[in-house]
Amino acid sequence: MLKSLLLFFLVAFSVPVVAQEKNLDYYISAGIQNSPLLKDYNNQQQSNQVDSLRILASLKPQVNGVSNNSYAPVIGGWGYDNAITNSANISALITVTKTILSKANVNTQFESISLQNKALNISGKITEQDFKKAITSQYITVYGLWQQYSFNKELYDLLKKEETILKVLTEKAVYRQTDYLTFLVTVQQQELQITQIKQQYQNEFATLNYICGLQDTSFVVIAAPALEPTMLTEIEQTIFYQQYQTDSLKLKNQDALIDYNYKPKLNLYTDGGYLSSLAVTPYKNFGISAGVSLNVPIYDGKQKKMQHDKINIAEQTRQHYRDYFTTQYNQQIAQLQQQLQSTQQLIDNANTQIKFSEGLMEANRKLLATGDARIVDYLVAISNYLNAKNIITQSTVNKLQIINQLNYWNRK
């Protein structure tokens, strides 16, 4: 029984562990989930909800306990005038105050908080879009390096097989020793190329994990990014344009709040408790009082107009930024579409070329095995194949990066 268990564990732990293939959605989800900035935006919105509750609380009667106590003795005829100080004053009151505001004023305050949350929500979406773009861009870079590593490794394995065949043919004097050494140098260069690409892949992969807030230094395979250009939307519907619309509403709200600050303010108050100078029957000085206070702004040096002027200047600035963004957006979309079209054309041309390069390389490889081809011709065919393959890989990466940028600007 013990031997069987030992055999089981030996077999189980001798099986190589293959890292699970991870796709683009995995890294985007991890990056968004781990982002402290997005969590900060969410917490700020929750904090603003608390401010809404505070506004509601401020509209309710405010109850406070107030106690003011003083003693002003007159010694040897010296001291404060008793007619003013009453010698002593003692108070212990419960005061209740309530500010009377119009419904429109209260709604404007609530609207201010609502617009703050809307602006935070838009900022959060833009930040999330920035994260997606950055993560996707880095993912595409890593994927491109993996593609380079894969086809270079495949070609290296093929050359290693050819090396064995050529070594035998060289020993039989079918090929010259110098030709064989030339081929051997090419194989070694290909091996160095693979090592270099692998190191670069690991570095870029570590950067991808760093951006996403992940801790992973393993050499894993990533899936091809499933990216397709999204349908172009009107600029007014994009999340980037919405921030200018929200800023306009916020400025109008600030304008309204300025006007409400200059409206007459009515306060009701009442109190009850003990208030006495201790001069006459202090034990009877328990009572209550009530009153109304009205504050009507009359003149403040035209500060109200100055505040409105600042809002108007801010609105002009907002319009300039909006118009500038509109021009940049249209230019950027047109440029990206043009780049996408030309890149796709380059990929199509390279795919046509690689068919000929691959056919020529295969033909030379077969002739090489029979001694009917020159090694130099075979190496030239390999070089042409590698160049065409690299062009396709790099162009595919460029195409994906362009699609990533197009999709970035089209976020609703």
Residue-level pLDDT at 209:
93
| Same domain as 154, residue 118 | yes
Structure tokens at 37: 């900035």
| Same domain as 93, residue 49 | no
Tell me the CA distances in angstroms from 85 to 43, 66, 106, 121, 287, one per residue in order.
53, 19, 42, 58, 20
**What's the rounded mean pLDDT across residues 167-186?**
85
β-pair partners for 291: 269
Write the burial class of residue 384 (CB in 10 Å: 0-12 exposed, 13-18 middle, 19+ buried): middle
Residue-level pLDDT at 12:
39
Q: Cite the DSSP H helix spans in 71-227.
A: 82-85, 103-171, 177-212
**H helices, E strands: number in the chain:** 9, 5
Write the burial class of residue 402 (CB in 10 Å: 0-12 exposed, 13-18 middle, 19+ buried): buried
Q: Which domain holds residue 363?
A: 20-59+101-262+297-409
* Kind plus residue range of the DSSP H or E element containing 98: strand 88-100
- How far apart (Å, rounded) are the C-alpha atoms in residues 204 and 220? 12
Query: Do 131 and 32 meet the contact criterion of CB atoms below 8 Å apart?
Result: yes
| Same domain as 275, residue 183 | no
β-pair partners for 91: 275
pTM assigned to the model: 0.82
- How far apart (Å, rounded) are the C-alpha atoms in residues 151 and 148? 6
Specify the higher pLDDT residue, 111 or 174: 111
Looking at 252, 280, 296, the residue that finishes a domain is 296
Looking at 248, 278, 296, the residue that finishes a domain is 296
- Dump pLDDT digits (tens) for 355-370: 888 888 888 888 877 7
CB proximity list for 85: less than 8 A, separation 6 or greater: 70, 72
Q: Which DSSP string corresponds to 264-312?
A: -EEEEEEEEEEEE-SSS-GGG-EEEEEEEEEE----SSSHHHHHHHHHH
Task: Specify the amino acid at residue 159.
Answer: L
User: Given phi > 0 = left and psi -120 to 50 = alpha, else beta, which region is 282?
Assistant: alpha
Burial 92-114 (b: 16+ CB within 10 A, else e): ebeeeeeeebeeebeebbebbbe
Dihedral sign from CA coordinates of 337, 343, 345, 347: negative
| Same domain as 274, residue 217 | no
- How far apart (Å, rounded) are the C-alpha atoms in residues 266 and 256? 19
- Dump pLDDT digits (tens) for 312-341: 999 999 999 999 999 999 999 999 999 999
For residue 21, what pLDDT band results from cuts at 50, 70 and 90?
low
Residue at 13 is within a domain: no
Average pLDDT along the chain: 87
CB proximity list for 333: less than 8 A, separation 6 or greater: 232, 406, 409
Residue at 1 is within a domain: no
- Dump pLDDT digits (tens) for 374-390: 888 888 888 888 888 88
Per 3-state DSSP, what percentage of the chain is helix, strand, and coil (rounded to 5)? 70, 10, 20
CATH of residue 380's domain is: 1.20.1600.10
| Same domain as 69, residue 44 | no
| Same domain as 158, residue 92 | no
User: Given phi > 0 = left and psi -120 to 50 = alpha, else beta, which region is 302?
Assistant: left
Number of domains in the chain: 2
Task: Specify the amino acid at residue 86.
Answer: N
